[in-house]
Structure 1
Amino acid sequence: MPDLMDTYIENRWLVQPNHANNLQTTHGGNVLKWMDELGALSAMRFSGENCVTARMDQVNFKRPIPVGDVALIRAYVFEAGRTSVQVRLEAFREDPRTGDRVPTTESYSVYVAVDDDGEPTSVPELTVDSERGCELHEQAVAENAER
């Protein structure tokens, strides 16, 4: 059974002018794309199957990410159903010189594992064996329940 920390993924993109809107901050569509891609990778790492996006819950854009800063996205599976998994998604604005982070965007997404024919297929049970995994799991479950 996969552990929550096995599904934890972070990725970074240096925000370039081609990622920006007319305010020279990252276009929201780029942030959503990066979050969705990383969420799917986390779900696939968990399930061992291809996964497709079933739902992206309310996306909260709190702050912009300006050109020249880094968009840091993190994702991890925090719940598993029969064929679906719930993934916690967070984006941060990161200073490339100092590594200082500020939260910018958050969401919860559901991905469905599919077989080679595109049909839903079962996923394993999620385990949480580390202190950090427990912290992430408890935070995601509590915040998701408040939504």
Structure 2
Amino acid sequence: MTTRLTETYIENRAMVQPNHANMLDTAHGGNVMKWMDEVGAMSAMRFAGETCVTARMSQVDFERPIQVGDTALIEAYVYAAGTTSVRVRVKTYRENPTTGETEPTADSYIVYVAIDEDRNTVEVPDLRVETDRAQRLRDEALAGENGGD
């Protein structure tokens, strides 16, 4: 069984509200990490066809804040897979909800493990990279994971 990288691409948004903010009226880093983990898990589960749990999150690099009233745009996709694990690239952007203008805000690489209903690990499919876009996404993730980003 194989799954195409482009089938794992998930994009989600969260409107940053005052209850998501820190004392500087920007999204609290913990909320941003939660959103990143959730969208990354959705991508991993779409790939695996199974429930996936977080095994490891690499460092999260926060480049700029997301203001209250802006949208947190989170993109995730599977770029590599092991026997039972799935590696997901997760990028977050600050998005102006009225203009659509975006700026990168946070980046991470998350490993998920596929499990069955008894919480035992299960095998995941092979990853297929079929398009130029998919190859570019995979290459960017592998370079960034190894410190080349």
Asked if these proteins are the same fold (TM beyond 0.5), I'd say yes
Corresponding pairs, count: 147
Alignment of 1:75-86 (within 5 A): 75-86=76-87
Q: Measure, in 2, the Cα distance between the counterparts of 1:122 and 1:14.
A: 36
1:116-147 Cα offsets, whole Å, 9 max, x none, are 11011000000011111111011101111227
Q: Measure, in 2, the Cα distance between the counterparts of 1:143 and 1:40.
A: 19
1:66 partnered with 2:63: no
Q: Measure, in 1, the Cα distance between the counterparts of 2:77 and 2:121.
A: 20
In structure 1, list runs of 5 or more residues that go unmatched: none
Moved beyond 4 Å, runs of 4+ = none
Alignment of 1:66-145 (within 5 A): 66-145=67-146
Instruction: Report the TM-score, using the length of structure 2 for normalisation.
Output: 0.97
Q: Measure, in 1, the Cα distance between the counterparts of 2:81 and 2:105.
A: 26
> What is the DSSP-based 3-state SS (H/G/I as helix, E as strand, rest coil) of the residue aligned with 1:110?
strand
AA aligned opposite 2:90: L
Q: Measure, in 2, the Cα distance between the counterparts of 1:97 and 1:50.
A: 35
In structure 2, list runs of 5 or more residues that go unmatched: none
AA aligned opposite 2:111: V
Q: Measure, in 2, the Cα distance between the counterparts of 1:96 and 1:73.
A: 14
> What is the DSSP-based 3-state SS (H/G/I as helix, E as strand, rest coil) of the residue aligned with 2:13?
strand
| Equivalent residue number for residue 57 of structure 1 | 58
Alignment of 1:16-55 (within 5 A): 16-55=17-56
1:43-88 Cα offsets, whole Å, 9 max, x none, are 0000000000000011111100000111000100000000001000
Instruction: Report the TM-score, using the length of structure 1 for normalisation.
Output: 0.98
- What percentage of residue pairs aligned between the two structures are identical? 59
1:71-123 Cα offsets, whole Å, 9 max, x none, are 00010000000000100011000011111110000000000000111011000
Q: Measure, in 1, the Cα distance between the counterparts of 2:10 and 2:103.
A: 18
